[in-house]
Amino acid sequence: MESAFIHTPLGIAKLEGDEMGLASVTLWDEEIKTTTPIPEVLEDAVYQLQEYFNDQRQVFSLTLNPEGTDFQKRVWSELLKVPYGKTISYLELSQKLGDVKAVRAVAAANGKNPLWIIVPCHRVIGSDGSLTGYAGGLHRKKWLLNHESPAKQQSLF
């Protein structure tokens, strides 16, 4: 498994993967030296993430190989269908998976997503429109949703 650390507007991202695909993208709060050169198996993922942050990419085209249970992988696969700039509630997501009673299990699987941004778990919100739970912190979830919004909000302060 190869790894690389890159700067993003939200902190340092660690990418891990091999010839089977990208296994994880996680965010680190501490300052870590970026990786140079980037391992060949991660070059495309790094390039696509840079495009995303530069408003040049809305859909990722990568081979993914995350570790998880079959249920988690079903949830993550459904998350990939949530379009850029759109959100879905945990209830809607569980309905799409065919079990409205699985809301808590869906939320737990969402929280275990190892592919930050690539599998857009930040696009899942509460049924009332609230920003609920995000492993990377609600400030990052808010930033990502604003980044993807067609009408970006300006900060007054």
Cite the active site residues: 121
Kindly state the helix (H) or strand (E) to which residue 8 belongs, with its residue range. Answer: strand 2-8
What phi and psi values does residue 58 have, to the nearest 5 degrees? Answer: -115, -20
Give residues with Cβ within 8 angstroms of 61, minimum separation 6: 48
Beta-bridged to residue 125, according to DSSP, are 89
Whether the Cβ atoms of residue 41 and residue 19 lie closer than 8 Å to each other: yes
The burial class, CB within 10 Å (0-12 / 13-18 / 19+), for 131 is: middle
| Angstrom distance (rounded) from CA 19 to CA 42 | 9
